Structure 1
Amino acid sequence: MNSTQRRFDQVQVGDELPALAVPITVQLIAGGAIATRDYFPGHMDKDAAQALGSPHVFMNILTTNGLVQRFVESWAGGPGSALRDLKIKLGAPNYPGDTMTFSGSVTAKRDSDRSVEVTLKGKNGFGNHVTGTVRVCLA
């Protein structure tokens, strides 16, 4: 977690968030599925995933959602920030052995609730795994 609290008045539209590279592993995929109580075999069993036509186990949307939250919260810093809205769309699957790299920027500011909108993407070797927007209130 970022030890510096991001302040609303210091953030400008166009500010870039620092990139975050997330290695995609079997442990991350299976652990995320188990933690979110998603016991679909394609997230934990390579043979089952391959029987479905997938080359390997693949990440579930709830794990992706958590990684998006981690990306934005680590930029926002400290307890003075709060996620208010998160909208994502999945694209290319995340498979073990790849890396998903998050990038994003501030695309809007709203004075009424001291929030900013971050538009982001998480890209892997196949293309965009996730795209979306997150609204976060800042101190």
Structure 2
Amino acid sequence: MNTGDELPPLEIPITRTLIVAGAIASRDYQDVHHDPELARQKGSPDIFMNILTTNGLVGRYITDHFGPTAELRKVAIRLGAPNYPGDTMVLTGRVEAVDGDTATVRVVGANGIGKHVTGTVTVTLPPSEGLT
């Protein structure tokens, strides 16, 4: 793994089930994540994904690439365009820095209306596996 390397994209279909299950799993019972009518009353066209589900998907993207022994040391993300049901989020990544067994990866998740998530993930591999 070298600075500048691109991770392969990961397409994630944004389903109603994914949005609701992610909210329930993270104990986020805000109505905008499970009740379309209440979401509309609050100005949203539909329910939308919560940040904890997005955070989990970003972590999955990194560990799917680096393997099951990868340790996420820091995840710093910022939300943008909402993930609504029926859309697809495409996660992409680029290695920004490598320092021994630690890499910093810039991650972007885009959907049909823009960038849903941007940020960086710092990941470490055991010395026996290394990044190089």
* TM-score interval for Structure 1 and Structure 2 normalised by the shorter chain: over 0.9
The residue that corresponds to 2:102 in the other structure is 115
Deviations 1:92-114 (A, max 9, x none): 00000000000011110112xx1
Q: Note the C-alpha offset of 1:78.
A: 2.8
* TM-score (structure 2 length as normaliser): 0.93
Q: 3-state SS of the aligned residue for 1:56?
A: coil
What are the residue-to-residue correspondences of 1:27-66 with 2, within 5 Å? 27-66=17-56
Q: 3-state SS of the aligned residue for 2:44?
A: coil
CA distance in 1, matches of 2:25, 2:107: 24
The reply on whether 1:89 has 2:78 as its aligned counterpart is yes
Alignment coverage as a number of residue pairs: 126
Runs of 5+ consecutive residues of structure 2 not aligned to the other structure: none
The residue that corresponds to 1:7 in the other structure is none
Report sequence identity in percent. 53
CA distance in 1, matches of 2:52, 2:107: 17
* TM-score (structure 1 length as normaliser): 0.89
Deviations 1:63-106 (A, max 9, x none): 00000001011000132x21100000000000000000000111
CA distance in 2, matches of 1:38, 1:71: 22
What are the residue-to-residue correspondences of 1:14-29 with 2, within 5 Å? 14-29=4-19
Please identify runs of 4+ aligned residues in structure 1 that moved more than 4 A.
none
* Aligned AA (2:114): G
CA distance in 1, matches of 2:114, 2:122: 24
Runs of 5+ consecutive residues of structure 1 not aligned to the other structure: 1-10
CA distance in 1, matches of 2:68, 2:24: 28
